[in-house]
Amino acid sequence: MSGYTIALAQMNPALGDLERNLALHEEAVEEAIGRGARLLICPELSLTGYFLKDIVSSVALPLTSPILGRLRDLSRRIDLVIGLIEESPEHLFYNAALYLSRGEIRHVHRKVYLPTYGIFDEQRYLAEGSRIRTFQADIGRSAILICEDMWHPAAAYVASLDGMGILISPSASPGRGGLEEGRTFANAQAWETINRAYAQLFTCYVLYANRVGYEDGACFWGGSEMIAPSGEPVAKAEYLSEAILVAEIDSAEVRRARMMNPLLRDERLDVTLRELERVKREGIR
């Protein structure tokens, strides 16, 4: 794989309305395919909306759900990343993202870090994920980290050591920090800093798909973007409006970045593990 065309769906899902949101995914698939994309990445909880609270159990889907069957069928035409509440066989509920390809679920990531501060209350309603894994996709060795996962560098670090060349981040980020003149929300600027830093530090592509729209009084700001391993933007969507952002990435850029900056080669995993064990014993200061 060298050049590979990707679409980020900056959509506005309706809270709790699975059928309406499924239709949004179907529309996005048609547009993405029409524009030559081979992978469509949707935001966090794209099938359900975000502030679910007490309706979590009513919109949760097992991986055998007919709704997911319809999306698996769509993935025969284009690879998909979609967000949902996954219900496990033990009836635990997870904020999850699925990678669908050729009619199959290729990978499931359950959100590891559940924000429970400010306007966020995920840990009250959801179970924590406990794994960070990469997987092989046509685009290359990939990892999915959902929104808050990206604010914990250890998650991206583990994925990097596990072979990540593509970091996919579905997000539902409400604007915080107030609007500055000529700019967007302060936390949008923080997100852009994180995306560029991770791309450079881990010499990988960062594909960030954020939602838009208003829900429960919160404004989701959009600004989805693709960042090259150099830290330079490949493409960026507008703030605050729905869009399908389409651009091409090139796997040769990962190779070039790792030749110029052999950070992964020089990583001292033995030192990291030893020092983490020490901190675990002594406690975080």
β-strand partners of 166: 142, 205
pLDDT value of residue 285: 86
- Residue whose token pair is 């509920």: 93
- The domain of 238 spans 3-282
pLDDT of 46: 99
Q: How far apart are CA 202 and CA 90, in angstroms?
A: 36
Give bridge partners of residue 59 from the DSSP assignment: none
Judge residue 192's burial from the number of C-beta atoms within 10 Å of its C-beta, 0-12 exposed, 13-18 middle, 19 or more buried.
Answer: middle
Chain segment 23-67, per-residue pLDDT in tens? 999 999 999 999 999 999 999 999 999 999 999 999 999 999 999
Mean pLDDT, rounded, of the chain: 96
In this prediction, residue 181 carries a pLDDT of 57
Give the Å distances, CA to CA, from 131 to 43, 73, 104: 20, 27, 20
Query: What are 247's two structure tokens?
Result: 């651009």
- pLDDT of 184 reads 75
Q: Is the pTM of this model over 0.95?
A: yes
Which pLDDT belongs to residue 180? 58
pLDDT reported for residue 178? 66
How far is residue 37's CA from residue 31's CA, in Å, rounded to a whole number?
Answer: 9
Give the distance from CA 185 to its chain's centroid.
Answer: 20
Type of residue found at 206: V
The segments of the chain whose pLDDT lies below 50 read none
pLDDT score for 177 = 76
The CATH number for 252's domain is: 3.60.110.10
* Residue recorded with tokens 């600004």: 223
Residue 1 is predicted with a pLDDT of: 58
Task: State pLDDT tens for residues 123-139.
Answer: 999 999 999 999 999 99
Is 101 strand, coil or helix? strand
Structural domains in the chain (count): 1
Q: Taking CA 223 as the corner, what is the angle to CA 23 and CA 132, rounded to the nearest 5 degrees? A: 80
